[in-house]
């Protein structure tokens, strides 16, 4: 770092009557580095600055921290916010206040600090996803990244001020332009300022290099991850115009490679940053613009992140489409029985499992027909394999004609065929079995010299919506029915309906019987004097869990699980009372198959549960499933994993639990498996 730059900064501080090392900031840093420091020690230092005290109390009493009673002491504020956040916020407020003394600056200072605060919030939220232990450092780095511009306007004069006023430049384009035309750049100046004020080395190094793209590291350290966060938030364009600079980085690709963030993940980070900005802006009232909606600026940031790889993504999508078409054709050929053209056994088994899964999701019945051609070995021996092959082709064609535009037909092996379809009523399923037997018998094979019709024995199993079946179990049951048809004389259909599902007829009586248990539970909770869990408690526990799982982030690029850190409403369905009781919880992460939450009470494994997640600017997302695990985390807080079965923009369980049990078979199955457990007396 240039000694000349450091000397010029000291001269500037002297002219502006600014301290070269703000005393209060230095004391905060020293105390933060002491592992034995206490809340009271932090409070005693902060009380030396009345303006800082007022801003911290304002932040603590904001809605984000959910305090029941107004916080009026700095000791309580430090306890609620936590030492790490107090350190970072206090440093930020102190340094922003000192930099605001610079006179004769050509900047629109409220707009400048608005942009800086946005970068700080983006840094914190991005770090929460990839390196939670450095979230506070990322906030401070983002807040101070552009402060070097304030210094350089004073040192370099009008030419630099004009360069700063060029709104057609993105941050990277601006940095390259100042490198070409000025003797100092704002990144090295920010680093020099941080060194002059004796900020921690991590802050100094990241500020000085925040426009230098770090290389991709297969197994990044915490320092590597913070370096990548620093670079990304410094390169994002917040409302600036476009540039055709050929050196403009592909930030969307960078975010995906370094953090595993796709477009949806980026949107989550930006939405969280907008909420964090609203919280911080109230505490910085008078420094940043009042009542300013930053949605437009953040939407432009999102566009800047994703547009740089749009062309590459489009080309990749076209290549993938071509590959998918070719692969689809290959898979279709590979899935077909070469003789009959219907599915082979492997593809048939997969098709049956898929049909059962889809039927479960759409609450439909499943029908499986398993047939065997009668006396086929004798036919082969007497008339030859050519005749046998023609009979197999004819039988396959007849099966396909029995289920036009629906179901799947496959050759199970030898002279055995299986047909699977969904959505039939019980009488229609029985009729389909009889139709197939008649269709096989009606095929004219006289040209092959056969003396009479070919017949089949068929087993037909119909599983009602919600029946506890799998692809294997329903196929095996139909196979057993087919053998029953053979033992009964062949050339016939043997039919059975399977309906072993939770009996919804007794739901209302179950509900009445569980009222006493519910009252006992409520009285017990009231006597215990249970206190509400605060949002700050959830965030602290979530951060501690993440810190204790350091390898979780390493393979994030290969996973579809996204970190959210947002409040939610949790509704657990009580199997005895058939009631749901909404409680405030906290979402840690979500994927296509599960969601991780923190709740204020223990829930049993297997219980049906609904999680309502607010999405800014969109309808609330409702996800529902069963509890996969529940572990105690701290105090009243429990860590819960949920296996998801349904999602909607409307309530799934909480609106009408009894209808949910009738219409969602996974709910009925979950209650059926838990019924004995939940019926135990309190």
Mean pLDDT, to the nearest integer, of 323-335?
A: 56
Q: What is the pLDDT of residue 64?
A: 61
Selected residue with higher pLDDT from 198 and 286: 198
Q: How far apart are CA 582 and CA 596, in angstroms?
A: 17
User: Are the CB atoms for 32 and 38 separated by under 8 Å?
Assistant: no
Q: How far apart are CA 626 and CA 605, in angstroms?
A: 7
Selected residue with higher pLDDT from 541 and 459: 459
Most confident of 116-130, 273-287, 289-303, 480-494: 480-494
Distance of CA 467 to the CA centre of its chain: 31
Domains and CATH numbers, the chain: 3-18+104-311 (1.10.3210), 20-100 (no CATH), 336-501 (3.30.70.270), 507-678 (2.40.10.220)
85-94, 167-176, 418-427: the lowest-pLDDT one: 85-94
pLDDT-derived band at 216 (thresholds 50, 70, 90) equals confident
User: Are the CB atoms for 347 and 444 separated by under 8 Å?
Assistant: no
Mapping DSSP to helix (H, G, I), strand (E, B) and coil, where does residue 70 land? Answer: coil
User: Are the CB atoms for 624 and 609 separated by under 8 Å?
Assistant: yes
Element counts in the chain: helices (H) and strands (E) = 27, 11
DSSP conformation class of 448: G
Mean pLDDT, to the nearest integer, of 148-164?
A: 79
Mean pLDDT, to the nearest integer, of 633-652?
A: 86
Beta bridge partners of 581: 572
Is it the case that residue 633 has pLDDT exceeding 50? yes
pLDDT more than 90, % of the chain:
17
Is it the case that residue 308 has pLDDT exceeding 60? no
Q: What is the pLDDT of residue 493?
A: 95
Distance of CA 129 to the CA centre of its chain: 11
Which tens digits make up the pLDDT trace of 244-267? 455 566 787 888 888 888 777 777
Is it the case that residue 607 has pLDDT exceeding 50? yes
Nearest CA-CA partner of 627 in 585, 656, 659, 679: 585
Q: What is the pLDDT of residue 376?
A: 92
What does pLDDT average to over the chain?
Answer: 77
72-81, 182-191, 329-338, 568-577: the lowest-pLDDT one: 329-338
User: Are the CB atoms for 639 and 630 separated by under 8 Å?
Assistant: yes
Which tens digits make up the pLDDT trace of 339-390? 998 888 888 888 898 888 888 888 888 999 999 999 999 998 889 989 999 9
Which tens digits make up the pLDDT trace of 454-504? 999 999 999 988 777 888 889 999 999 999 999 889 999 999 987 644 333
- For residue 459, the surrounding DSSP H or E stretch is strand 456-463
- For residue 234, the surrounding DSSP H or E stretch is helix 222-235
């Amino acid at each position: 770092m240039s000694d000349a730059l450091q000397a010029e900064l000291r001269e500037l501080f002297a002219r502006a009557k600014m301290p070269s090392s703000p005393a209060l900031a230095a004391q905060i840093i020293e105390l933060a580095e002491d592992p034995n420091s206490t809340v009271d020690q932090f409070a005693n230092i902060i009380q030396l600055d009345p303006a800082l005290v007022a801003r911290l109390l304002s932040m603590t009493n904001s809605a984000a921290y959910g305090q029941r009673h107004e916080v009026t002491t700095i000791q309580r504020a430090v306890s609620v916010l936590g030492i790490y956040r107090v350190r970072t916020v206090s440093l930020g407020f102190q340094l922003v206040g000192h930099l605001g003394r610079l006179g004769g600056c050509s900047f629109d200072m409220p707009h400048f600090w608005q942009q800086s605060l946005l970068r700080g919030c983006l840094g914190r939220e991005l770090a929460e996803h990839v390196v939670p232990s450095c979230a506070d450092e990322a906030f401070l780095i983002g807040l101070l990244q552009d402060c070097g511009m304030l210094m350089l306007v004073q040192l370099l004069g009008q030419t630099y001020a004009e360069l700063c006023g060029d709104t057609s430049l993105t941050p990277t384009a601006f940095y390259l332009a100042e490198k070409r035309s000025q003797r100092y750049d704002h990144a090295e100046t920010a680093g020099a300022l941080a060194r002059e004020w004796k900020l921690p080395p991590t802050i100094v190094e990241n500020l000085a290099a925040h426009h230098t793209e770090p290389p991709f590291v297969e197994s990044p350290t915490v320092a590597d991850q913070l370096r990548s966060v620093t670079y990304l938030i410094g390169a994002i364009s917040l409302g600036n115009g476009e540039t055709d600079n050929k050196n403009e980085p592909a930030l969307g690709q960078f975010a995906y490679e370094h953090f595993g963030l796709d477009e949806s993940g980026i949107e989550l980070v930006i939405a969280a940053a907008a909420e964090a900005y609203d919280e911080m802006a109230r505490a910085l009232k008078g420094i940043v613009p009042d009542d300013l909606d930053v949605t437009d600026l953040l939407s432009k940031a999102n566009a800047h992140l994703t547009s740089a790889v749009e062309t590459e993504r489009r080309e990749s999508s076209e290549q993938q489409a071509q590959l998918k078409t070719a692969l689809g054709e290959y898979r279709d050929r590979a899935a077909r029985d070469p003789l009959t053209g219907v599915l082979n056994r492997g593809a048939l088994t997969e098709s049956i499992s898929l049909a059962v899964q889809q039927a479960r999701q759409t609450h439909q019945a499943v029908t499986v027909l398993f047939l065997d051609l009668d006396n086929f070995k004798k036919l082969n021996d007497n008339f030859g394999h050519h005749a046998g092959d023609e009979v197999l082709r004819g039988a396959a064609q007849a099966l396909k004609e029995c289920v036009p535009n629906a179901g799947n037909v496959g050759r199970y092996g030898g002279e055995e065929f299986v047909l699977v379809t969904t959505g039939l009523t019980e009488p229609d399923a029985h009729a389909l079995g009889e139709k197939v037997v008649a269709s096989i018998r009606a095929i004219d094979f006289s040209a092959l010299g056969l003396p009479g019709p070919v017949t089949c024995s068929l087993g037909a199993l119909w599983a009602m919506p919600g029946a506890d079946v799998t692809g294997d179990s329903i196929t095996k049951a139909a196979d057993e029915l087919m053998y029953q048809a053979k033992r009964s004389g062949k050339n016939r259909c043997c039919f059975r309906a399977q309906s072993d599902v939770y009996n919804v007829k007794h739901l209302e009586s179950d509900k009445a019987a569980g009222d006493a248990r519910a009252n006992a539970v409520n009285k017990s909770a009231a006597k215990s004097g249970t206190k509400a869990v605060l949002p700050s408690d959830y965030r602290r526990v979530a951060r501690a869990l993440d810190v204790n799982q350091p390898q979780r982030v390493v393979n994030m690029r290969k996973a579809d699980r996204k970190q959210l850190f947002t409040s939610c409403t949790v509704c657990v369905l009580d199997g005895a009372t058939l009631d749901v009781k909404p409680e405030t919880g906290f979402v840690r992460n979500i994927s296509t198959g599960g969601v991780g939450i923190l709740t204020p009470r223990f829930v049993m494994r297997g219980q049906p549960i609904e999680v309502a997640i607010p999405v800014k600017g969109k309808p609330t997302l409702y996800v529902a499933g069963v509890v996969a695990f529940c572990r105690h985390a701290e105090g009243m807080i429990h860590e819960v994993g949920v296996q998801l079965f349904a999602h909607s923009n409307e309530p799934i369980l909480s609106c009408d639990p009894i209808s949910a049990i009738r219409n969602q078979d996974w709910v009925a199955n979950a209650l059926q498996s838990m019924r004995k457990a939940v019926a135990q007396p309190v």
